[in-house]
Structure 1
């Protein structure tokens, strides 16, 4: 596999300083990660895309090297969407491509609404966005996220991790991956990212007021192509899987299947890169 150099950058935005990385050549493709994932989460995926795209990865505000001016201030989905727009203004000359996973997918959907025309195509893989679901499913999704947050408050990550695994249908003892992946140990930095994600960003998700009809209208006006996506092995009862199907129904389209489950982009980077290239026409 050919190698290309990764370039590190910082960008000052209102309330934060963002760390982002670029690699490769071609149309700009922003990867926005799930959970605690920062710019290094896709270390095995990026090199397999860099022959076709200028791949941009970043640490969301509050994670790893993206520092906050005021750590006590709550973060919102609007903050994240604004960060994406400012980041893409730095690296892209026109509408960019974006692949968002879980939290990253929800951020991408907010970007479509708040910043029309910034994204030409958005792949939204299992977005964590309760408002995409009918009322009963929405309430269940919010309650499940709130229960995880409560478990974290009472017992820290030791109690939160099993609840997250159940929520996403993840079975660490039996889930498969491609061979030769870069280890992703639970370092102190990664633990801090998990704590920020559960303690702060869960609230941004559960208090989100964006409705799907507004999203569909915004995408239509801006001419943004939204591609809902699911993991091939994600359990059909998982709320984020159901969110992707609900989004597809709103858009009158079919969801694209990606390898693996909810975190398939990290577990199957080779296969994921090929699907991304196929969907994005690379």
Structure 2
């Protein structure tokens, strides 16, 4: 956070959950949405946008500071889209731009389907919609195996399978550093919830392509320029083809906005200016 950026943190009660959200800046509203990624991951990008935007970030239900009443209930794209709709309505500053990444991109598409009145631009950055793939059966089987591995107690083994399935290569030792079991209990609880109740509902979600194609909302299918050949490159390319639009390249990989927010924000602003 820069010295001049003021962040207002609050909570909003929604059906079955209490959502932590943060607002910074002033100007047109842009929401930065992840799943399972929380508000903290978007903070550097949010600070850069806050010079001329009101920026909303939040922890999705069941992650970090957003609590849920039933930890055995699934977090579906429709439920998270309803959460986001309630946040946007609560702020009463729209229609908004919504940038959703990964599972948050699926949330964003579900919001376009359910509440197109709340946003004018939806940037779906690498949504993992594996049902759009020709080899969906194999990818779904690998996803089921990965979740079973995690829930069976082999956390690192599950993350190794996750990276292999996503075609993401990490340097030696990075996986162990990122996902070893010596992390804080809240992080591990959120991770368990994701593997048990969020990953499959998000990646197995079937978008209503007719509704998306006919929506008044501008939809951008974003792909990291370093994601070539990865699973989310394939899913986003498939989504763009079905919507009849060209994919839009952003700098970096699946988490380019985290790895280099300064470069990412330049491209994001250019994409917004194209509207």
Query: Which residue does the alignment assign to 1:188?
Result: 185
SS of equivalent residue, structure 2 residue 154 = helix
Alpha-carbon distance in structure 2 between the residues aligned to 1:42 and 1:100: 11
Q: TM-score, normalised by structure 2?
A: 0.89
CA contact (8 A) 2:150 2:195 kept: yes
- Can you list the C-alpha shifts for 1:26-84, whole angstroms capped at 9, x where unaligned? 111100124x3111112222211111211110010111111112222222221111011
- Mapped partners of 2:266, 2:183: distance in 1: 28
Structure 1 residues 170, 186: closer, same or farther in 2, change over 3 A? farther
Conserved? CA contact 2:77–2:201, under 8 Å: yes
Would the alpha carbon gap of residues 235 and 166 (structure 1) be closer, same or farther in structure 2, given more than 3 Å must change?
farther
Which ranges in structure 2 are unaligned for 5 or more consecutive residues?
173-181
Matching of residues 13-28 of structure 1 within 5 Å: 13-28=14-29
Q: Deviations over 1:141-190 (max 9, x none)?
A: 3223222212212233221111122223332318xxxxxxxxxx954332
* 1:269 correspondence with 2:264: no
TM-align CA RMSD:
2.2
Distance across 2 between alignment mates of 1:93 and 1:42: 20
Stretch of structure 1 that moved more, 200-209 or 156-165 = 200-209
1:140 aligned to which of 138, 141, 144: 138
Partner of 1:156: 154
> Is the 8 Å Cα contact of residues 6 and 22 (structure 1) preserved in structure 2?
yes
Partner of 1:260, secondary structure, is coil
Residue equivalent to 2:31 = 30
Aligned length: 265
Question: What are the Cα deviations for residues 215-245 of structure 1, in whole angstroms up to 9, with x where unaligned?
Answer: 323x2xxx10000010111131x22211111
With normalisation by structure 1, the TM-score equals 0.87
Higher RCO, 1 vs 2 (CA within 8 Å, ≥6 residues apart): 1
Secondary structure class of the residue paired with 1:44: helix
Which residue of structure 2 aligns with residue 239 of structure 1?
231
Structure 1 CA distance for aligned equivalents of residues 170 and 4 of structure 2: 30
Partner of 2:179: none
- Say if 2:151 and 2:192, in contact at 8 Å, map to a contact too: no
3-state SS of paired residue (2:116): coil
Structure 1 255/210 Cα, relative in aligned 2: closer, same or farther at 3 Å?
A: closer
* 2:175 aligned residue: none
